[in-house]
Structures are given as structure tokens and as C-alpha cells.
Structure 1
């Protein structure tokens, strides 16, 4: 049964529907994988095997005609997304033991579709880091190399899925937080257009500038599984002002091919590793082979988009948290203290600075979308480097020093743009770590991004880290 946990989620569902296995059997396979690997990986913030068994038993008793599209699928949820009855502590001592009474909208939809929630997964304190560590639950490790991070802030989620401890799940992304972990662990993810998947119930709330930057996004081992979650969970939340009534689209391959793909190996400012360049070229070749027009193209607005992301994520992020951490800094995790130090070095943000940045964001988004009329799909790196060793903050690439937040700048543009962007595994670093590529599109064209990403995924795709394979 241990091989089951590494199958795509869509295949697990096919087996459940065909009665080739029961919900309990699939749940037990995941429980065994969690009990074997989680002591090494520390991906979970809340997991109770008996609770999972009780839920699985109840699900097996549900009549076939009353079963939803995800019935019995074992999934996980990042511990910043409210799931009633499960710890939602955002990796912080300030929230130790907090258990929501109500589901986030998207978790409610998961349950309504029949998914079996295994537990919640670890994240950095207050989500403000690209690796997963905190003083509440400790450090989460990468299943490809325990000395390396699975990324952040959805690092617990990526580690669980990559290692077969979960079939799929939910993360969140305001600066690459589902895409960088997917890239680091060799899985797939989508940061959707904000509002396509409801954000209400995420902690902290996706409000102010984070209503553009932030989104709850699906993570899984294949784009087909990511698309299944997107189509099942998307749809307007009429109590969320950022959620719009966008109808799901079905696109044929010939319709997808009408979208020209612009690709770039780096942004001309921050270099990437040779293996990263090779991954982008391989993905571009796969799309050409599939009939797409793929040409070099570098939007002129990227650095301005990145500067605005810094204003909103780093400076505004620190301002949002100031009331909560004031007078209690001694309780903070080192990784969140590091974020505050970065924000403080940047300097204070005045009300005039904020007003001008907010106006510039709208103008710059419009200009970028104009540029993308010619190339509605962009192909580029996810990050300059593959998964790094815990705590590493500088790299030398082509003789140039690359700093921590610059190494992951390749995701940040699309948060400022409020655009959909997917991560897909394609290559390997010289140390054997996964390398993904990023496929982004214009706002609300999530189905285009998923369709193109699916073609790349079918050409390359997930492979299991050695520790995840059956013993």
C-alpha cells in the first residue's frame, strides 16, 4: 500500500471511485508515511492519526451518490488557513494553541467536496520568510536533503506533498510562498489571481495591499492535481470584495497555442545558476515541440514591480505586525526577527510614500498588462538558486553576490501584478536538488497558465525523493 501515497491525486481518486481501495485504506497508507517520515521532516503543525481514522471511517459509510469530487482524498492545509478543529497558529508563540471554530471559505469547500483533512502544516512565524522555521514547532526539512529548507512560507505543505505524506493541499502566496517551496521540493503549485480562490479565513487577512499581493493556492505533485483543486475550489465569495464572479474556462490545446510565450533566463540584474538557465531552455523547447510560438521577451516593468513589492510586503508587512509584536520581541522566532531587521534597515514608510506607491501599482499593472498583450504567457525561473542549506543567505553566481531576498525576486513581480503564476519541476541542480520553472499569465487567465504548465509538466514532471519511496 505504500506506493499509493506517491500516485497523483487524480489517480488516487479514480481508485477510490472504482472501489479498488477504501478511504480507510488510503488514509492508513498516508498515516504510515507520516509516521515514518515526519519525525525527520517536521512538516506538520497538527496531526492526529486517530482523528484521521475516525474521519475515514465516516467517509466510507457515505453513500456513493452523496460523494463529492474529492471524496476521501487525503489533503493538508497550511497552518495559516483556518480549518475548524485544527491548530492555526501561524508559527507564533503569540498564537500557541489557537484552534479556529470556523473554516476558511476554501477549507469549507474542501470539506464539501469530500476531502479528508490530514492536518495542518508548518510555516515560518507570521509567514514572512522563504524558509520554514519557528520557535513554536521548529525547523521543517527538505525531503531531498535534510540539511536544506523546503522553502517558505508554505514549506511544511511542500515537504508533506513531495514526500507522499499528503496527496495535495493548500498554501498561500504573497511573494512566492507556494512557488518557491514547489521549486525547492520538486512539486507543482499555482498562485492564482487573487480572489479566484477565496482568501477569506486566511491569517493574517489578505487586506490592503495584500488583497493584490496575496492568494491561497493549490499545491500537488502534478499540474493535473493542481488544476483539479483549482476548479473544485474556485468561485466567487460574495462576502469578499477581492473575489470576482469569473466563470471557469475550458481551453483546447489549439486555443492554448494562440497564446505566444515570452521567455527569459534572467532579468538582467540578478543572475541565476547554469542549471536554472538550462531548465528554462528545456521548458521553452518542450512548448515549441507542442506547437507554441516561444520567443525571448523581457518585460520592461519588472524592476519597478519588484520595488513596489518591497514597499508593500516588507515595509507595509512590518507595519501591519507592529501592534502584535510591540513589547514582546523576546518571544519572536529568529527568522521573523530577521525580517523585521530587514524592514527597519529599509527605513520608515510615510503616508505620502504609501499613497504614491498604491497609485503607482495600478499604473504599473496597466502598463505591464499592455506589454503582455503580445506575450500573454511568460516563462522564467522561479529563483536564482535551488533549495539552500538552512540559514544560508548569500550566493556567488557568475562572480556576483546574490543576497537572500534577491535570489527569489523572480516570483515577486507577479504578486505586485496580481497575476496567476505556476511552478513546475523541470531539472536538477549539480547537487541533485529539484529546479522548477515559472509560468505566468495575465490576471484572471489562470486556466491559460494551468494549460501551458500542464504541457511542461507532462514533458518533465514529478519524481520522488529517495526517502519517500517504499522501504
Structure 2
């Protein structure tokens, strides 16, 4: 196995620019890694090595690089429309769906010169923290094949962690780029909704999901994630959720002016001892880099989580009801499980929905007021590291933590429409990765990436043994 496929994307790009490697040669290295590991990991929903070779030959024949990602092998979650590739959202109801047009974010990838390897697996209709469906089966974590790489961007995280892709795109309405990054030891960013255009995501990011949801970059380093963000960000004139916010840069001294609020848990769902240690290690690294890091926990977190549940679970089920009516026998177990959560919560009346929407605006304002003194937050990514396939509850610090509660640490920032990034910092007793989360106020994506870069330099990606062969 070539170490090249595990190198940061920026290094792969530097080698392409220096002509130390051709696009075809780099593509062949990734094809070989995919062919070696895909039978064990099942990260892909659509991959064809010969199609990749055709793209690579055309790029080499073109001569001069045509964009900042020229020749970089990337992947796209199979819920983001990618022309010519299966984008079935993990559902038998969409079997064989191949979009004719790219999502705006994929169009930008291609315009920047990226080499599309394929689309990656996700749970049916994206409504799970485990990637498994009746179309493409179960995606496995390269750190331990008996464990999940998370969801719903689990195929994407597994591919990147294992060196089958240099970087890629996931999407996140409740932790779906962050939990998988935490589980597999890579980096990711859930941007402020609209900073990276969401037009072309399936299902559309509309209604409450225009607040909750965002397409986000995933890669092995924050430098790579930042590169992807810079290439992809910018207003989409046809997307009403895409604001005209220019890219910004912040010096380290400017970042140090923002006090960081630290909390190890939210007082409701405990975290593992190793997770606490990872958060404290991250805090110490930031203090050593000159940041002020002090204990602080917003008081609105539990209310935000409850409203997230209203919109993601209850409204999510309402959105899907027309498409699945009379077809439940064709749905996957993980999606039927999600429907069970929604049914247990009960139907939403129009008045309840209206009141929840208004309450969310009030809570977002209260939280922003609290963040005035601590505009950056450092906290866990989840209660536990990667779980075994099918697990749904865990004993943590003597307390039972249920499935949806374990990921509440990401859900708050979806309800806030705020940016949040994951950086691998620690490891569990079993040697599994543990990420920490950096979050900030809406539209401060570059602040999140700047602080996360400090942590990535201090800790960062380690390759799973499986990836090295």
C-alpha cells in the first residue's frame, strides 16, 4: 500500500502541482486502496474504477491544472446529487436513481478540478447514526469492523479514514458529519447553513431543515477541511438560504481574543472518562497556544436539544410520510426504528409546530446572548466512541445513556444553525478515536476552523492499522 493515499489532501495536491505524481498515478493508488478495502468496509454506494481512470486520463491530457483541487480524488455522500452516480439515499424506494444534474456544491467541486471517485453509503433517508440499508448493506469502521463508522455520513468518514478518498462531502442535520468524524478519527465541519450551498441535497434542506441542515467538508486534517470550505463556500444566487457572506481570515492573535468556554458534559448525558480526558487535553493545548479557556456551559442546551428532537424526529417523519405511505415493508430496520421514535413522540399539531418554531428563535437569541462572553465553545463530540453495530444504549459513569441522547452534543449546534468542527484528540481504552468539538456563533465558520487547526496541529489524524495493510 502506498502511503500517498493516507497523506493530507494538501500534500497530494502539492505533489500533483510539482508533477511528482500524475493524476492517473494518484487515481490508481486510490483505486487499489478501494479494491483492497471496500470488500471489508462497504463504504461506497457507487464506484467504478474504469470511470475514474477515464477522468484521470482526461485531466492529465489537459495539461495545466484547471483549479485548486485539480486531480484530487474525492467522494460525495449519496444524498448529494452527483450527475451520473447513484444517489439513492440508501433506500429501496429510490433504487437506481441517478441524477442528471450536479448539486451546486458538486458543480463547484468539478469546477475546482476534483476527481470524483464515487458516492458513499448512508442510512436510509439519513435518519440514523449508523450506516446500514437494504441497498448497500452495512458500512464498517476501519478501526474495528465490528463497529459503526457512524451516520449518516458513515460511508464518507470510513472512506476518508481508510485512505480510499482524500476528502469529501457529507451532510449534517443532527451530527451527521461530526459523529462519523469522531468515530473514525478524521476532521469535519458542519458549516453555518448556506455558507456551503445546500441546493441539490436529497431531501432538500427546506423548512426546519434549512436551519438544522448543512453540507459539510470531511477530510483527515483541518487544513484539508479548510481548503474544501474555501473552495465550496460562497453565495448561491438560486438558494434562498445562501447568504452573501465573504470568506474571512483571522490571524492567531485575532483568534486568541475570543475566550473559549469549556464543558466536559451537559449535566444530563455523561461521557466516558477518556472523552473527558480528551476535552481537557484539548483545553490544555489551547492554553499553551495562548488562548483563554475557562469553564462555561450555556444554560439553554437542554431546551435546544428538545426542540431539535421536535424538528428532526417529529417533523422529519412528517416530511417522509407521503413517500413511504403504504411501502413500510420495503423500509430498512434502521429507518423503521427512526419512525418508531417519531411515533413514540406523537404527532405534531399545527399549533405545536408554530409554537416550537417561535420558541427556537427565542432560544437561539438567548444562547447568542450567553455566547457574548464566550463566543467559542470546546466540548465533547458524543458520550461514547464508536459503538458496535446494533448497539442502542450504553452504561457511562453508572448511568444508562440511550441512543439519541448519546449524540446530543452535536444536536445543539444544528438547532442553533451554528458552525462546529471535529478534531481527533484522544482514544478510548479499546484504542478507538475520540474527537472533540469546537463550535461558535453562526457565520463564524472561519473562527471554528482557525481554533480547530491549533488542535489538529497538536493532535490530529492517525491511520487505522487496516488502512496500512
Q: Tell me the TM-score normalized by structure 1.
A: 0.99
Aligned to 1:224: 223
Aligned to 1:377: 376
SS in 1 for 2:422: strand
Deviations 1:39-68 (A, max 9, x none): 00000000000000000000001131x520
Aligned to 1:406: 405
Aligned to 1:123: 122
Aligned to 1:177: 176
CA distance in 2, matches of 1:193, 1:398: 33
Instruction: Quote how far apart the aligned CAs of 1:166 are.
Output: 0.1
Query: Which aligned pairs between 1:324-363 and structure 2 lie closer than 5 A?
Result: 324-363=323-362
Aligned to 2:11: 11
CA distance in 2, matches of 1:124, 1:63: 40
CA distance in 1, matches of 2:223, 2:142: 22
Instruction: Quote how far apart the aligned CAs of 1:399 are.
Output: 1.1
Q: Does 1:82 align with 2:81?
A: yes
> Alpha carbon RMSD of aligned pairs, Å?
0.6
SS in 2 for 1:61: helix
Instruction: Quote how far apart the aligned CAs of 1:397 are.
Output: 1.0
CA distance in 2, matches of 1:227, 1:306: 28
Aligned to 1:260: 259
SS in 1 for 2:62: coil
Query: Which aligned pairs between 1:127-206 and structure 2 lie closer than 5 A?
Result: 127-206=126-205
CA distance in 2, matches of 1:3, 1:62: 27
SS in 2 for 1:422: strand
CA distance in 1, matches of 2:397, 2:23: 51
CA distance in 2, matches of 1:67, 1:348: 51
CA distance in 2, matches of 1:245, 1:354: 29
SS in 1 for 2:137: coil
CA distance in 2, matches of 1:247, 1:68: 20
Deviations 1:416-468 (A, max 9, x none): 00000000100000011100000000000000000000000110000000010
SS in 1 for 2:342: helix
Query: Which aligned pairs between 1:11-30 and structure 2 lie closer than 5 A?
Result: 11-30=11-30
Deviations 1:359-414 (A, max 9, x none): 11111111111111100100000000000000000111111110000001100000
SS in 2 for 1:438: strand
Q: Does 1:243 align with 2:239?
A: no
CA distance in 2, matches of 1:399, 1:42: 35
Q: Does 1:458 align with 2:457?
A: yes
Aligned to 2:286: 287
Aligned to 1:439: 438
Aligned to 1:468: 467
Instruction: Quote how far apart the aligned CAs of 1:191 are.
Output: 0.1
CA distance in 2, matches of 1:238, 1:422: 26
Structure 1 residue runs without a partner (length 5+): none
Aligned to 2:47: 47
Aligned to 1:33: 33
Deviations 1:172-222 (A, max 9, x none): 000000000000000000000000000000000000000000000000000
Instruction: Quote how far apart the aligned CAs of 1:2 are.
Output: 1.2
Structure 2 residue runs without a partner (length 5+): none
CA distance in 2, matches of 1:451, 1:225: 12
Aligned to 1:108: 107
Aligned to 2:316: 317
CA distance in 1, matches of 2:328, 2:396: 35
Aligned residues: 469
CA distance in 2, matches of 1:199, 1:260: 31
CA distance in 2, matches of 1:427, 1:213: 28
CA distance in 2, matches of 1:236, 1:368: 26
SS in 1 for 2:294: strand
Deviations 1:218-259 (A, max 9, x none): 000000000000000000001111100001011110011011
Aligned to 1:367: 366
